[in-house]
Amino acid sequence: MVKSYLKFEPSKSFGVVVSSNSNLVWSSRGKAGAGAGQAIVAANEEVLVWDIKKGELLSRWRDENCKFRVTAIAQSRTDPDVFAVGYEDGSIRLWDSKIATSVVSFNGHKSAITVLAFDKTGVRLASGSKDTDIIVWDLVAEVGQYKLRGHKDQVTGLYFIEPDPVVRTEGEDDHAVMAVDSEPSDGFLLTTGKDSLIKLWDLSSRHCIETHVAQANGECWALGVSPDFTGCITAGNDGEITVWALDADALASSAQKVDLSQSVNFLQNRGTLHRSSKERAAEVVFHPLRDYFAVHGVEKSVEIWRIRNEAEIKKTLARKKKRRREKLKEKKAEGADADMDETDDTDIAKAEVSDVFVQHVIVRTTGKVRSVDWALNPGVKDLQLLVGGTNNLLELYNIVGKERLKSKGEEPDYNKALAVELPGHRTDIRSVAISSDDKMLASAANGSLKIWNIKTQQCIRTFDCGYALCCAFLPGDKVVIVGTKEGELQLYDVASASLLETVNAHDGHAVWALQVHPDGRSVVSGGADKTAKFWDFKIVQEPVLGTTRTTHRLKLVQSRILKVSDDILSLRFSPDARLLAVALLDSTVKVFFNDTLKLYLNLYGHKLPVLSMDISYDSKLIVTSSADKNIRIWGLDFGDCHKALFGHQDSILQVAFIPHNSDGNGHYFFSASKDRTIKYWDADKFEQIQRIDGHHGEIWALAVSHSGRFLVSASHDKSIRVWEETDEQIFLEEEREKELEELYEQTLTTSLEQDPDEQDANREIAAATKQTVETLMAGERIAEALELGMTDLNTIREWEEARQINPNIAPPQRNPIFVALGNIPAETYVLNTLQKIKPASLHDALLVLPFSTIPSLLTFLNLFAQRELNVPLTCRILFFVLKTHHKQIVASRTMRATLEKVRANLRAALRRQKDEMGFNIAALKVVSMQLRDKSVREYVDETWEEKEKEKGVRKRAFASLS
């Protein structure tokens, strides 16, 4: 009989506040923007929505089919509930924040998305990627419009430049008519790349109209555009910021022109500013309503710059002119020749960039900054900046603006208003321990120890500690013991949230391992001082200061010491308390008798140090894992190596047996590695049962529950994940087949993408396509449906021809699929197959079809047109097929005849639909006129929020530069 196992599946993930691989977005939510707003942040493969004021997690967006990390987030300008999220594999998903559901997904890039931007109307999305391409997506039709190529390295900045159309005044009198250019333009796109270039693209003609070198000293890492499109800022290495003036009016007027003069430059370099930090910049973010922008690199600070208004610039220029005159007078007094320049120095268009931009304040943050966004809260007069750090921390800072400074010489100040820090560690978790009732989890990191409720994933206690390397719950689950890098053992009381005792256990040498004795009365610690020390738990009576009373207190008392030849990296008691296994830095494992501490076994075999080990529930097997990527299973009776397994692709940091499994012998174990995977093994059969993927960083810690129903892992990606045993059975052969299939699919899609569009390789514009397993399967489904449909059409035609000769002939035997679906006609079945394919994948699926199926497809398109079935889809498929196979179709006489029929039927269908739409539009106009005549007013002013925001706030950013 084939042995089956139970599968472990991911169930919970917590411990992450914000990941350092994506930007963050601030969003005002609630009644009239009540509270401090929400932060939409990346958390590995999920997107989290945090209430900044309460520190609560409001929503968690996760696509079960996506295992890749989030790398970019953007919010729609027109619909604040719509967010675009880019992933590491090059896919993009549109999320509706109200229902926390992915509504559309796109797949066109070959590598991670770096930047996303919505246009003004919210119907187009532009995406930039590490693969150097830019794709413009149509969100209404749910397709990729085109791919723009021009950058030679990853795209780092992306903005739609959509200035308002030029308004022409007709006539000179007071009653002049204002006429806007009739045809709306597609607008422009401003992009920057790591290749240090800044490019301006005309989206109407789909080509690059301007290219400049953005940063003279190397790469360009950030782009910020002023809200009124009059200028932009690029930032790169060595703290350099380049200021550009953008002629928005000239862009708007040129939108309708075909022949542009080559001498026109819409982008003009206005000069360079220098940040106080020499680190490379990461982001430039303009305030949407006020004259400030934030710029930061990867250091622990954010620089806030202010744009001066016209009066301030004139004042500065006048002061400079006055100073220059005084210097000239001094020179003349000294007898030197000096000519006075009489030009008007107060012309702000000629002002230097340093006269216009001034550093306002430097905000010092708790950790290194990954991303920032401005927070707009009604009623808050200060500037508010949301900061996401690389140390798993969200902070909101209040910054005093220039207009709120009381005196001229007063320095602008800032303060940290709010922070979301409790639900996660600042540093990597190095050890996890589960309480005896499987309800609590202790996680220890450098500087902090946290106690979690596993069921609710809430952090119930946080303690400050040293650099923790190992931890364990003491019997009763009320006390947690922590071993630190400084050689200390620290005891923490969970109930009173206090530090009970600190023992300098190993004289300043790191405590690499500790374990509680199976009888629960003592603990052993092993350190880098080449000793294992045994500590008994004693309850002592301690006097309470200032009183005559005494109180019970837990103390650690050293009872025995075991000296070995090298540093101790791991140690384990056997569950029957007979043996103690010690792993040393010299790659050996020594097994001692627990009572006498005499050497029982020496386990040789690993080429590099053993990092972790565990002993099975029946005390018969010991499993060791090493930095040499191998797992070894040993017998504890004779110390023989039963099997050496090449377990992982990197160092194996943790191994742990399941205490009780279905067979009762506890010979199944887990291993966790730096290669980001957990593997489930059978120690009797020496076979891998399951590979568990999910973490995005090295897995430092692993703990199996006492019931054996779940395990907990902690990783460099800051997440703590719970994996639960399900009722689903695993068969080893099926698992191997599934792994081979995954490998095949991966190599298949990469081979398809090797040279997908060779003819477009040197062109600026290309088709936004990408072959995936999904599109390949969709193509196969279409081909299958066409084959079934054509067979059915031929069967029906032959029956009808035979019926003309013999009217009593019985109906033909149709395919069981058509009968099962209610005897539907073939064209309905084919149309249903086409409709089920996502619009974004349709073109790629049609590309998979061999040319031999195109005549069948045209036959069905003709039937769709005849019966007016889904005319938009019919047109879309027809145009794509014609564009792709134009030469072959034109060369075929039979296909040309079919095409003529399609044209005639489609024109008739489109004419009828056009007339119907025209009739409906005319009727709606009549209804609106009737409503107007009855003086029915619209009482809802949809723009009142924007008016409130702009009330009292004057927009002037960059006005002085263009």
pTM of the entire structure? 0.86
Cα angle 750, 756, 758; round to 5:
135
Rounded CA separation 522/86 (Å): 52
Cα–Cα distances (Å) from 282 to 87, 116, 156, 226, 294, in that order, read 19, 15, 9, 17, 11
**Residues 404 and 413: beta-carbon distance below 8 Å:** no
**What is residue 346's predicted lDDT score, i.e. its pLDDT?**
55
How many DSSP H helices and E strands does the chain contain?
A: 13, 57
Task: Kindly list the distances between the CA atom of residue 582 and the CA atoms of 128, 420, 527, in Å, as whole numbers in the listed order.
Answer: 53, 41, 11
> CB-based contacts of 568: which residues, under 8 Å, 6+ apart?
512, 513, 526, 527, 528, 530, 531, 532, 582, 583, 584, 585
How far is the C-alpha of 371 from the C-alpha of 297, rounded, in Å? 9
Query: Which has the closest alpha carbon to 90: 53, 123, 51, 133?
Result: 133
> How far is 59 from 458, CA to CA, in rounded Å?
15
Tell me if 540 is assigned to some domain. Answer: yes
* Inter-residue contact 527 to 520 (CB < 8 Å): no
Q: Is residue 861 part of a domain?
A: yes
Are 464 and 448 a contacting pair, CB within 8 Å?
Answer: yes
DSSP state of 343: S
Q: How many CB atoms lie within 10 A of CB 544?
A: 9
Is residue 738 helix, strand or coil? helix
Matching residue, tokens 């035997």: 813
Residue 921 host element (H or E): helix 893-933
In this prediction, residue 756 carries a pLDDT of 47
Q: Could you tell me if 346 and 321 are in contact, meaning their C-beta atoms sit under 8 angstroms apart?
A: yes
Count of other CB atoms within 10 angstroms of residue 642:
14
Q: Which of 545, 564, 583 is the last residue of a domain?
A: 564
Q: How far apart are CA 365 and CA 302, in angstroms?
A: 8
Q: Is 338 left (phi over 0), alpha (psi -120 to 50) or beta?
A: beta
Amino acid at 234: T
> Is 399 domain-assigned?
no
Residue that terminates a domain, selected from 564, 588, 618: 564
Q: Which stretches within 368-468 are classed as H helix?
A: none
Tokens of 588: 């050996």
Angstrom distances, CA of residue 809 to CA of 188, 791, 796: 66, 19, 12
pLDDT of residue 369: 93
* The residue type at 800: E
Instruction: Look at residues 356, 368, 386 and name the one whose alpha carbon lies nearest to residue 241.
Output: 356
For the segment 569-599, what is each residue's pLDDT rounded down to a tens digit? Answer: 999 999 999 999 999 999 999 999 999 999 9
* Residue of 190, 185, 237 whose CA lies nearest to 209: 190
pLDDT score recorded for residue 409: 66
Q: What is the CA radius of gyration of the chain?
A: 35
Query: What's 442's domain CATH number?
Result: 2.130.10.10
Rounded to the nearest 5°, which phi and psi values hold at 256? -95, -5
Domain count, the chain: 2
Beta bridge partners of 657: 669
Q: Kindly give the interhelix angle for 773-805 and 854-867, rounded to the nearest 10 degrees.
A: 70
Residue carrying structure tokens 């009016």 = 249
Domain for residue 103, yes or no? no
Which alpha helices (DSSP H) does 669-772 contain, by range? 732-752
Question: Residue 889 falls within a domain, yes or no?
Answer: yes
Rounded-to-integer distance, Cα 621 and Cα 637, Å:
8
Ranges of beta strands (E only) in 45-185 are: 46-51, 56-61, 70-75, 82-87, 91-96, 101-107, 113-118, 124-129, 134-138, 143-148, 155-161, 167-170, 177-180
pLDDT of amino acid 135: 93
Which of 511, 542, 564 terminates a domain? The answer is 564
Written as one letter, the residue type at 10 is P
User: Which residue(s) pair with 43 in the sheet?
Assistant: 46
Q: Do 365 and 395 touch, CB atoms closer than 8 A?
A: yes
Name the nearest CA neighbour of 713 among 747, 759, 754, 677: 677
Q: Domain of residue 473: give its range.
A: 428-529+531-564
Q: Report yes or no on 943 lying in a domain.
A: no
Judge contact between 673 and 691, C-beta under 8 A. Answer: no
In a domain, 345, yes or no: no
260 within 8 A of 209, measured Cβ to Cβ? yes
**CA distances for 272 relative to 239, 722, 960, angstroms:** 10, 51, 16
Of 909, 801, 814, the residue nearest 863 (C-alpha): 909
Q: Which residues pair with 453 in a beta bridge?
A: 440, 458
SS3 for 160-220 is EECCCCCEEEECCCCCCEEEECCCCCCCEEEEEECCCEEEEEECCCCEEEEEEECCCCCCE
* Rounded CA separation 920/907 (Å): 20
Contact between 797 and 789 under an 8 Å Cβ cutoff? The reply is no
Report if residue 60 sits inside a domain: no
Phi-psi region of 793 (alpha: psi -120 to 50; beta: other; left: phi over 0): alpha
Kindly state the tokens that stand for 603.
């386990």
- Distance (Å, whole) CA 119 – CA 188: 10
What is the model's pLDDT at position 262?
55
DSSP conformation letters of 454-502:
TTTTEEEEEEEEEEEEEEEEPTTSSEEEEEETTSEEEEEETTTTEEEEE
Query: d(Cα 199, Cα 949) in Å, to the nearest integer?
Result: 33
Rounded CA separation 199/208 (Å): 7
Strands 134-138 and 143-148: antiparallel
Low-confidence stretches of the chain (pLDDT beneath 70): 1-2, 29-35, 165-184, 255-264, 335-349, 406-409, 661-665, 749-762, 935-962
Residue 450 · residue 417 · CB < 8 Å:
no
| 269 and 238 Cβ atoms separated by less than 8 Å | no
Torsion of CA 37, 42, 46, 49, to 10 degrees: -10
Angle between helices 839-848 and 773-805 (to 10 degrees): 70
* 706 neighbors 472 (Cβ within 8 angstroms): no
Residue 306 makes CB contacts below 8 A (sequence gap 6+) with: 291, 292, 357, 358, 359, 360, 402
Is residue 711 left, alpha or beta, with left meaning phi > 0 and alpha meaning psi from -120 to 50?
A: beta
Yes or no: say if 610 and 581 are a contact pair by the CB < 8 Å rule.
no
Q: What is the DSSP string of 259-301?
A: S--TT--SEEEEEEEE-S--SPEEEEEE-SSSSEEEEEESSSE
Chain CA centroid to CA 643, Å: 41
d(CA 911, CA 903): 12
